[in-house]
């Protein structure tokens, strides 16, 4: 299934996409995983300048076309993101051009502001500190994003990790409203307040870490894959816990960006469209305790203007 995005010329977005944030970076693993994903039916890929996976993703797509697995790149929906160090009005267009060069592509289907945070220009790394943060010129940066869409270099533009407060500020100055907000979202971090806000404003929500992520909080635990509530539902439905989580996200009208570099799990994660959760399942999932996993607290002050957790989102059940 595909979702129509609110934006002139946007490509419809497949309801499940493959995530390529994988640390540490092993380019060959990304390339092979993307080829495996194309083979099992993925047509939606998510990357970012910060992940270092634009090049291997581009190589995999070029090889898939050469091998005849795809007729052309036009069959895909490809997203990339502007990193915080590039979050300056005059760096947006050059950053997108660099991204397109890495991907060997003429356009992106979706270009996102990665975080509502601006860090002084420097080489891209995930280890930026909040001392490096500078005021985020949301209006200037968004003007440059709009120009990317007008030039046809991005068919749609959007944001990631924006709370309702950030979106309020952006919508107040946007000529082209954001088509998408990609945020951490899963049964253990349901984002009801944000989802209701985005539905009202016509912003499509995409979920990163739909399966609870890759140990982002360093505890070694996974609130989604280890959920007893989800395990009970999975057993009753004859599905895996991952499939129950992805099906629940799909039933909320949200697109999952799910990362697996394993062919069997890639395949399994697409097998969620021919069955449903019951009302009782939905009720059980609504009662799962809520906790945000990905705080990125070394970069984003929880007290500051751009804290990544909106207090409104804590007030959910
Ligand atoms: P792997 O790449 O070995 O499959 P998220 O998308 O929430 O970030 O979760 C990704 C993590 O969950 C990855 O570490 C991935 O590991 C694992 N994963 C992906 N699909 C499944 C699945 N169907 N069952 C169990 N674990 C999965």
**317 pLDDT higher than 50:** no
Give the span between the Cα atoms of 222 and 144, in whole angstroms. Answer: 38
Total domain count, the chain? 1
Give the span between the Cα atoms of 308 and 104, in whole angstroms. Answer: 33
Q: Which domain holds residue 298?
A: 2-314
Reported ipTM exceeds the 0.90 cut: yes
Give the Å distance between the CA of 268 and the centre of ligand 1. Answer: 11
Read off the pTM.
0.95
Q: What is the CATH number of the domain that holds 254?
A: 3.20.20.100
Q: Which tens digit of pLDDT belongs to each residue from 118-177? A: 888 988 876 777 778 888 899 999 999 999 999 999 999 999 999 888 899 999 999 999
Tell me whether strands 180-184 and 157-160 are parallel, antiparallel or unpaired. Answer: parallel
Of 140, 138, 197, 149, the residue nearest 176 (C-alpha): 149
Could you tell which of 211, 215, 261 is best to mutate to test the pocket of ligand 1, judged by most ligand atoms within 8 Å of the CB? 211
CB of 302 within 6 A of ligand 1: the answer is no
Torsions phi, psi of 38, nearest 5?
-60, -40
Residue of the CA atom closest to atom 21 of ligand 1: 265
As a whole number, mean pLDDT of residues 262-287 equals 97
Q: Which tens digit of pLDDT belongs to each residue from 36-82? A: 999 999 999 999 999 999 999 999 999 999 999 999 999 999 999 99
Rg (CA), the chain: 19
Looking at the annotation, which residues are catalytic?
51
C-alpha distances in angstroms, 119 versus 23, 34, 47, 134, 144?
A: 21, 30, 20, 5, 17
Give the span between the Cα atoms of 12 and 6, in whole angstroms. Answer: 10
As a whole number, mean pLDDT of residues 106-115 equals 97
Give the Å distance between the CA of 213 and the centre of ligand 1. Answer: 7
pLDDT band at 315 (very low <50, low <70, confident <90, very high): very low
């Amino acid at each position: 299934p595909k979702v129509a995005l609110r934006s002139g010329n946007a490509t419809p977005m497949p309801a499940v996409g493959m995530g390529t944030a994988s640390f540490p970076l092993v380019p060959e693993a990304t390339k092979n995983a993307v080829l495996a994903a194309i083979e099992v039916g993925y047509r939606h890929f998510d990357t970012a300048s910060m992940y270092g996976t634009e090049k291997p993703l581009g190589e995999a797509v070029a090889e898939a076309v050469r091998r005849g697995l795809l007729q052309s790149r036009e069959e895909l929906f490809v997203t990339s993101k502007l990193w915080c160090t590039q979050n300056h009005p005059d760096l947006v267009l050059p950053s997108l051009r660099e991204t397109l060069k890495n991907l060997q592509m003429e356009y992106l289907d979706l270009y996102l502001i990665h975080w509502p945070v601006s860090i002084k220009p420097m080489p891209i790394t995930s280890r930026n500190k909040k001392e490096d943060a500078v005021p985020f010129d949301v209006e200037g940066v968004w003007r440059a994003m709009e120009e990317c869409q007008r030039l046809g270099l991005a068919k749609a533009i959007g944001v990631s990790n924006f709370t309702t407060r950030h979106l309020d500020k952006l919508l107040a100055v946007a000529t082209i409203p954001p088509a998408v907000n990609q945020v951490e979202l899963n049964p253990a971090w349901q984002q009801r307040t944000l989802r209701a806000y985005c539905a009202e404003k016509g912003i499509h929500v995409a979920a990163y870490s739909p399966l609870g992520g890759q140990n982002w909080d360093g505890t070694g635990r996974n609130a989604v894959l280890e959920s007893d509530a989800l395990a009970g539902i999975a057993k009753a439905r004859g599905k895996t816990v991952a499939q129950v989580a992805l099906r629940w996200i799909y039933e909320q009208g949200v697109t999952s960006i799910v990362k697996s570099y394993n062919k069997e799990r890639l395949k399994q994660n697409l097998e969620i469209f021919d069955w449903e959760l019951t009302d009782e399942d939905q009720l059980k999932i609504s009662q799962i305790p809520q906790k945000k996993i990905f705080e990125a607290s070394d970069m984003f002050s929880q007290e500051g203007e751009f804290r990544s957790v909106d207090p409104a989102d804590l007030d959910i059940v």
